[in-house]
Structure 1
Amino acid sequence: MKKMKKKLTLAGLTAAGLLLLSGCVQTHIVDGVRVPTEAATHGITYNLLVRPMSAFVDLFAHNLSMGYGWAIILVTLIIRFLILPLGLNQAYKSTYMQEKMAYLTPVFAPLQERVKNAQTPEERMAAQQALMAAQKDNGINMFASLGCLPMLIQWPFFIALYNAAAYTTGISSATFYGINLGHSSIVLTIISGALYFIQTWISTLSMTPEQKKTGMAMLIMSPAMIVIFSFMSPAGVALYWAVGGLVMVIQQIIISFIMKPRMRRKIDEEFTKNPPKINNEGLKDVTPSSVQENFKAITSERNDKEKQNKTGGRNAGKQNRK
């Protein structure tokens, strides 16, 4: 039930974000084409975000004679790469905490089992307090990785790009390699979905088995939502999502194959110098014996690997995660 709730919440948040993008500018149908209403063109969102971004698209489409297809691609790339450092910074913080949590799984697993198997409210409260204390003692603070500033900075650009791609005058009648940008396109819908699938698939390659349980849900939901909304939107919007998906793939490659290995080496060094701390004082042990045995086995295995590492063996942390 909890897993299902998480999946539904994730899908809801994704849908809400996409709906927010599409609902920022009020529109109506004119001659079979969806365009902003007269009131919307005088609104704050349209004038502060959409109109300047539309002018930016027009700059490439008309002044540089590139056409609207290439204009959408270039503007999307420029904006995406400008805000890429913010995205990487936020991804670094959240991924670092996730990797640290994964490393400390043998420490937290018994406490989590005690919370789960507590027989009285007092036992549950004590176990929860011990878990939070253990997380604090070992430098775990998931809220520190949930900073809103990077997203708040990026969101206006996404809103502007989405609406500019959807409602810039001229895009509805433009074509891009035979694709009518004013109507939905199966080709661009498939490309968009495939790129977001690749991005989420790459993200699962360096995950631990525990992390993959959540990652696999994203592997399906994220591309599925993009496919649905791309198919429901003009091809100009699907083109914007396809280019954005390409940048997301590049960002995920950096995170999975450059950031994560460095993080794991850093975490290994950190806990080699300062071993994990845990305080079970005052707790009634309601952990199943199988979990206790598993904890001891994992701890023993980690100690053996640390000894091998000191004598020139392979990196202990990497072996542990493999």
Structure 2
Amino acid sequence: MKKTTKRLLLSGIALSTLFILSGCVRVVNGKPSGTVWNLLGKPMGNLITYFAEHLGLGFGLGIILVTVLVRLLILPLGLHQARSSAYQAAKRDYLAPIFEPINKRMKQASTQEEKMAAQTELLAAQRENGISMLGGLGCLPLLIQLPFFSAMYWAARFTPGVSKADFLWFNLGHRDIPLMVIIAALYLIQSWLAVRQMPEEQRKQAGMTMYMTPLMMVFFGLSQPSAVVLYWLVGGIFSIIQQLITSFIIKPKLQKQVAEEFKKNPPKTPKKTAPTRKDVTPNNKKDTREISTKNRQRNAGKQNRKK
């Protein structure tokens, strides 16, 4: 469940940052401007126009080709991020025999003190064995990629000529429901592949979250022209390819690497933390005398009121 929460949190951060970056692009009289647009979006739009008009490929293929080039450019960052996350996941899987009893005590704790003690022990076990609190999901690679995603969004939407062009059965300037169905199915496959890599217990808990990304894509796509959805479609295909590379190439290698690392340096088991309780007993005779004096004063006050 923690991995699922982190994924949702990271997705929320990514979307929020994307909207912030989108806000850096201003649209005045139908023309975008701003730092992200001038540095990245405008060159991408020019490249779309080059493929579409100078090479005669059309704006649909132009968007696809530019999206492929952009995704290939930032693919190393995505794979680096996926590798870091997979490495931390492999370490957690290997250390499961150490973490599971602590998690069990945390769930079965009857008092807040017992629960806090188990949490402290779990954090200590993770820290001593090199487990990252963020699960290896570094923010820097993601933040570097987001301006490219934002710029490609604006390029697909505002490049001159795109809104009047046709591609396959749809117009790039209008919404197309069949295309939305395809993109929903594509991102559902991506989410399904991600969930399949989770342990059985977490897989059951993440069942509903698997549908969140496709629903979000459909929700946002309903207000976007087909040119933007086409860009998302190609991006979704790249995400699936990246997920497959991570699951079937990177992850098995990392599992062997982690096993060898812990074979040379066996896992460290932290000492069990005893529940701490607040001591409310007097510390010395002076405290005892002060309490007794206060009690006598209160009793004397009560007797005076009775008289």
Query: TM range, normalised to the smaller chain?
Result: 0.7 to 0.9
1:216: which partner in 2? 207
Letter in 2 for 1:201: W
Alpha-carbon separation, structure 1, partners of 2:217 and 2:166: 22
How many percent of aligned residue pairs carry the same amino acid?
A: 48
> Residue deviations 1:258-307, cap 9 Å, x none?
111112222223333433321234435xxxxxxxxxxxxxxxxxxxxxxx
Correspondence 1:253 to 2:244 = yes
1:277: which partner in 2? 268
From 212, 216, 224, give the equivalent of 1:225.
216
Alpha-carbon separation, structure 2, partners of 1:9 and 1:268: 29
Answer with 36-45 or 160-169: which moved more: 36-45
Correspondence 1:71 to 2:49 = no
Q: Is the 8 A contact 2:120 2:273 kept in 1?
A: no
Alpha-carbon separation, structure 2, partners of 1:7 and 1:56: 34
2:98: which partner in 1? 107
> Within 5 Å, which residues of 2 pair with 1:70-149?
70-143=61-134, 145-149=136-140
Alpha-carbon separation, structure 1, partners of 2:107 and 2:34: 51
1:31: which partner in 2? none
1:316: which partner in 2? none
Alpha-carbon separation, structure 1, partners of 2:263 and 2:62: 52
From 171, 174, 197, give the equivalent of 1:206.
197
Rg: which structure is higher?
A: 2
2:152: which partner in 1? 161
> Residue deviations 1:18-44, cap 9 Å, x none?
655665534xxxxxxxxx323964433
> Within 5 Å, which residues of 2 pair with 1:32-71?
36-38=27-29, 41-71=32-62
Q: Any stretches of 5+ residues in structure 1 without a counterpart?
A: 27-35, 285-322
Alpha-carbon separation, structure 1, partners of 2:222 and 2:76: 30
Letter in 2 for 1:55: N
Shift of the alpha carbon at 1:11?
7.2
Answer with 206-215 or 250-259: which moved more: 206-215
Correspondence 1:175 to 2:166 = yes
Correspondence 1:25 to 2:16 = no
Q: Is the 8 A contact 2:44 2:155 kept in 1?
A: yes
Q: Is the 8 A contact 1:94 1:142 kept in 2?
A: no
> Within 5 Å, which residues of 2 pair with 1:228-239?
228-239=219-230
Q: Is the 8 A contact 1:126 1:283 kept in 2?
A: yes
Q: Is the 8 A contact 1:21 1:162 kept in 2?
A: no
Shift of the alpha carbon at 1:17?
5.6
Answer with 221-230 or 74-83: which moved more: 221-230
**Residue 145 of structure 1 aligns to a residue in which SS?**
coil
Alpha-carbon separation, structure 1, partners of 2:5 and 2:251: 28
Count how many residue pairs are aligned between Structure 1 and Structure 2: 276
Alpha-carbon separation, structure 2, partners of 1:106 and 1:89: 28
From 142, 150, 153, give the equivalent of 1:151.
142
Answer with 160-169 or 100-109: which moved more: 100-109
> Residue deviations 1:55-85, cap 9 Å, x none?
1211111121111000000000011011111
> Residue deviations 1:202-241, cap 9 Å, x none?
2233321134245434421111111222222100000000
Q: In angstroms, what is the RMSD of aligned CA positions?
A: 3.0
Q: Is the 8 A contact 1:195 1:246 kept in 2?
A: yes
Change (3 A) 1:270 1:214: farther
> Residue deviations 1:95-127, cap 9 Å, x none?
211221122222112222333444555444433
**Residue 155 of structure 1 aligns to a residue in which SS?**
helix
Q: Is the 8 A contact 2:18 2:146 kept in 1?
A: no
Q: Is the 8 A contact 1:197 1:219 kept in 2?
A: yes
